[in-house]
Copies of this chain bind each other. A is one copy, B any other.
Amino acid sequence: MNNFIFQNPTKLVFGKGQIARLAELLPDNINLMLTFGGGSITRNGVYDQVKEALKGRNYTEFWGIEPNPRVETLRKAIQVGKDNNINYLLAVGGGSVLDGTKLIAAGIADEMDAWEIVKQGVAKRQIPFASVMTVPATGSEMNGAAVISCDETQEKYGFSGSYPQFSILDPEVTYSLSEYQIACGLADAYTHVLEQYMTTPGQSRLMDRWAEGILLSIKEIAPAIKENPKDYDLMADYMLAATLALNDFIRMGITQDWSTHQIGHELTALHGITHGHSLAIVMPGTLRVLKEQKKEKLMQYGERIFGITQGTEDTRVNKAIEMTEQFYRSLGLTTRLSEVGIGKNTIETIATRFNERGAAFGEKGNVTGDVTREILLSCL
């Protein structure tokens, strides 16, 4: 096991009716700004619950953070924040609203342009922020990371910084999600786990088991949710799984491979593919191309997640990759670039970009632009 430092200070407030706790969770004497997406929360009752909980408080509202939040929008929010001396943010919405809010928190605390903050990779200063998370997917509610898009340059990058002070997760708010949103959320969470897990086995037996525990849980609940997307316990398991899939709990002392996310971000930046969907397309390709390097872990994964114990090593590894693609398809997602109208031109654009940037992703740093081309060609 590698040395590591772990600290996750976010307070998780989980369960039905918990939005009502907002008043006690927020500090007194703050200049609060609420940040929102496009308005779905006005239709599912969340906005009303938040308003009710904050009755008697003053706050500013900023609406319109879009999916794959754009720095162009966030710059406006930063200006509103600065104009109103905002010193605390509450994101109400899904991962994009929260990711955007993390950058707003940095932009208000810093003189630097928001895109420069993203490109430097780390926010050195941020005002405190918290969330009411409504879409289980990104894990942003309990981690220090955010991913931001830039329209102007068609780029999408992540940066890291502070963790939310608290996040409220009420599984009942997920009842209004569409089948596609749930499919993408489950794919996102499943892929987060794979990217922390799919390297070499036994670096930590326990981290392996915990990653597999999330994978098994998601695999078990996914078909049941399709049948009954308003089952509280199912949605609670889904919501908790998405949080625990990316809050540092399953990556203590181990190597990771985030190639799939890096490649998926490009598909989103260039073609607007929904994040979780992009991962469902890329992950099987990453596994196909890197299967020799990841063979031992793929064997363990195949056995423990899909019960694959028969056949030669090669057969078992191939079967594990097939089952992974099949799992994404079972969610209702397509898994091939041709199915979303993406062809060789885009692949070449991404490969060239990565080669120019000197990309070296993956646990061995060997996923370059050229390897990315190979991965994407296998996804056609």
Q: Using a CB–CB distance below 8 Å, which chain A residues touch chain B?
A: 1-18, 171, 202, 204-206, 209-210, 212-214, 216-217, 220-221, 232-233, 236-237, 240-241, 244, 249, 252-253
What are 23 inter-chain pairs, A to B, with CB distance below 8 A? Answer: A1-B233, A2-B15, A3-B17, A3-B18, A4-B12, A4-B14, A5-B12, A5-B13, A6-B14, A7-B11, A7-B12, A204-B240, A205-B221, A205-B237, A206-B237, A206-B240, A209-B210, A209-B213, A209-B217, A210-B210, A212-B213, A236-B253, A249-B249
Whether A209 and B205, one on each chain, are in contact in the complex, defined by CB atoms closer than 8 angstroms, is no
Q: How far is the CA of A197 from the CA of B244 in the complex (A)?
A: 18
Instruction: Please give me the residue from chain B that is nearest to A220 by CB atom.
Output: B205
Question: What is the minimal beta-carbon distance from A373 to any residue of chain B, in angstroms?
Answer: 36
Instruction: Please give me the residue from chain B that is nearest to A3 by CB atom.
Output: B15
Question: What is the minimal beta-carbon distance from A377 to any residue of chain B, in angstroms?
Answer: 36
Whether A217 and B206, one on each chain, are in contact in the complex, defined by CB atoms closer than 8 angstroms, is yes
Please indicate the chain B residues that have their CB under 8 angstroms from the CB of A7 in the complex.
9-12
Please indicate the chain B residues that have their CB under 8 angstroms from the CB of A18 in the complex.
3
Ranked 7 nearest A-B pairs via Cβ: A3-B15, A209-B213, A7-B11, A1-B236, A6-B12, A206-B217, A9-B9
Q: How far is the CA of A233 from the CA of B201 in the complex (A)?
A: 12
Q: How far is the CA of A241 from the CA of B209 in the complex (A)?
A: 11
Question: What is the minimal beta-carbon distance from A342 to any residue of chain B, in angstroms?
Answer: 34
Contact A241/B5 with A212-B213, A253-B236 known, Cβ cut-off 8 Å:
no
Instruction: Please give me the residue from chain B that is nearest to A170 by CB atom.
Output: B3
Q: How far is the CA of A12 from the CA of B14 in the complex (A)?
A: 24
Question: What is the minimal beta-carbon distance from A19 to any residue of chain B, in angstroms?
Answer: 12
Q: How far is the CA of A232 from the CA of B232 in the complex (A)?
A: 43
Please indicate the chain B residues that have their CB under 8 angstroms from the CB of A171 in the complex.
1
Question: What is the minimal beta-carbon distance from A101 to any residue of chain B, in angstroms?
Answer: 20
Within 8 Å by CB of A11, from B5, B13, B209, lies B5
Q: How far is the CA of A233 from the CA of B214 in the complex (A)?
A: 23
Chain B CB within 10 A, most for which of A5, A206, A214, A240: A206
Contact A236/B11 with A210-B210, A213-B210 known, Cβ cut-off 8 Å:
no
Question: What is the minimal beta-carbon distance from A340 to any residue of chain B, in angstroms?
Answer: 31
Question: What is the minimal beta-carbon distance from A239 to any residue of chain B, in angstroms?
Answer: 9
Within 8 Å by CB of A5, from B3, B4, B14, B236, lies B14
Question: What is the minimal beta-carbon distance from A250 to any residue of chain B, in angstroms?
Answer: 9
Instruction: Please give me the residue from chain B that is nearest to A210 by CB atom.
Output: B213
Whether B11 and A3, one on each chain, are in contact in the complex, defined by CB atoms closer than 8 angstroms, is no
Please indicate the chain B residues that have their CB under 8 angstroms from the CB of A253 in the complex.
14-15, 236, 240
Q: How far is the CA of A217 from the CA of B6 in the complex (A)?
A: 20
Q: How far is the CA of A127 from the CA of B1 in the complex (A)?
A: 33
Instruction: Please give me the residue from chain B that is nearest to A235 by CB atom.
Output: B1
Contact A14/B252 with A9-B9, A233-B1 known, Cβ cut-off 8 Å:
yes
